[in-house]
Amino acid sequence: MPTSRSSTGTIITCFSTVSLPGRHDILVVATGAQTSYFGHEAEWAPHALGLKSLSDAVTARNRLLKAFERAELEPDPENQARDMTVVVVGGGPTGVAITGTISEFTRRTLASDFRNIDLGKARVVLVQSGPRLLPTFGERHSAYAARALEGQGVEVRLGVPVTHVDAAGVVVGGERIAAATVLWCTGVQGVPLARTLGAHVKPDGTVAVLNDFSVPGHPECFVVGDAAHVMGSDGRAMPGLASVAQDQGKYVGRLIAARLANTRYPKPYASFTPSKLATISRNVGVAEFRGRSIIGFPAWLLWGLLHLRTLSGGGHARLSILANWVRLLTTYRRSGRLIVEPSELVASRRGHAPAVDENTATATSEVAVSCR
């Protein structure tokens, strides 16, 4: 459990679990969020993979690659079609980006890896229960995203919920879709630790905090990032974005630093209006940035630049990621077409902290920096 110490107290920032054997002065809870299956966790989670960590992403890639390898050797056309079908549930920024990436991956990146199957017949379906994609964006951007994905061969299903998920596929609006790979990109809830903080927990597991991010009645306990329920200026809960978590982390860091130095506290937190950005596929994105509407390559480039800003790890890590992006921009070759079992992934990360979601990492890093 990471801690930051000063001459006047101890600050504990926890990622997933916390144990307090003795007395500590300040607790910062930044545990992020976890996938919600809307009450069907036990039945659906084993078959519909969430994407909240590096391990989740590797597991999803493994399942996708194994399905196409089975299709390569499958003599039965019906089973082959199932193995080559991917269903993405959720039409928010994550679902749209994942769908575009998988469409490109199956039709372009894997083109030279298989001989017996026609990758042009690979089926990618995006299911959104609401009436349009990217519901937090303007209608123009929603329509643009749908057209862009359909232009890549993606089947976009709007206004139809998923009512059942099993090992053989999903049921969407009463229609059965046989699919070997189902990715769950909708629904979030607070982690169990947040629920232990008492009566201030919302139904989705987030913690309703005061305007300085402290838990009511506990000025020594702060909750930031996806774990916090904060109302924005528009009267709605602030979105679970890295930029939002980063801004909250900066504020709490300044407040704690002022408390430890016995100086004047910063003003109550003013809601942060984040930029809205989403990628659709290579060189294609949408953005609402400082009141401007941007689509296409400029939006995709802006997303990349702002994404780099939120990454932790210093300048070297950012330069490494930027170099990798430039390489992928000029070629469809990817270096990650290996099936890595979870045990191997754990071994490769031995000695490192557990993977946490991007919003958790940015919030906690900003707290630590601001408290210095």
- The domain that holds 91 is classified in CATH as 3.50.50.100
330 in a structural domain: no
C-alpha distance from residue 357 to each of 188, 277, 311 (Å)? 12, 18, 11
77 in a structural domain: yes
* Final residue before a domain boundary, out of 274, 297, 318: 274
Which amino acid, 294? I
The 10 Å Cβ neighbour count of residue 296 is 15
302 in a structural domain: no
* Final residue before a domain boundary, out of 164, 186, 208: 186
Question: Do 100 and 228 lie in a common domain?
Answer: no
307 in a structural domain: no
What pLDDT score does 283 carry? Answer: 86
312 in a structural domain: no
Question: Do 58 and 150 lie in a common domain?
Answer: yes
Mean pLDDT lowest among 87-91, 133-137, 250-254, 288-292: 288-292
Question: With bands split at pLDDT 50, 70 and 90, how would you rate the model's confidence at 232?
Answer: confident
Question: Do 132 and 246 lie in a common domain?
Answer: no
Residue pair 213/226 in contact (Cβ under 8 Å)? The answer is no
237 in a structural domain: yes
Question: With bands split at pLDDT 50, 70 and 90, how would you rate the model's confidence at 287?
Answer: very high
Distance of CA 271 to the CA centre of its chain: 22
103 in a structural domain: yes
* Final residue before a domain boundary, out of 239, 274, 309: 274
pLDDT at 93 over 80: yes
* Tally of domains in the chain: 2
Question: Do 112 and 209 lie in a common domain?
Answer: no
What CATH number has the domain bearing residue 13? Answer: 3.50.50.60
Question: Do 139 and 57 lie in a common domain?
Answer: yes
- The two tokens of residue 181 are 């790979």
**What values do phi and psi take at 89, rounded to 5?**
-105, 120
Question: Do 182 and 197 lie in a common domain?
Answer: no
> 63 is in which domain, residue-wise?
41-186
Question: Do 179 and 209 lie in a common domain?
Answer: no
279 in a structural domain: no
Alpha carbons 144 and 133: distance in angstroms, whole number? 9
Question: Do 168 and 210 lie in a common domain?
Answer: no
pLDDT at 199 over 90: no
Question: Do 61 and 168 lie in a common domain?
Answer: yes
> How confident is the model over 206-225, as pLDDT tens digits?
899 998 999 998 888 999 99
Question: Do 175 and 232 lie in a common domain?
Answer: no
What pLDDT score does 142 carry? Answer: 95
Question: Do 181 and 94 lie in a common domain?
Answer: yes
The DSSP H or E segment spanning 95 is helix 93-104
Question: Do 74 and 29 lie in a common domain?
Answer: no
> How confident is the model over 40-74, as pLDDT tens digits?
999 999 999 998 888 888 899 999 999 999 999 99
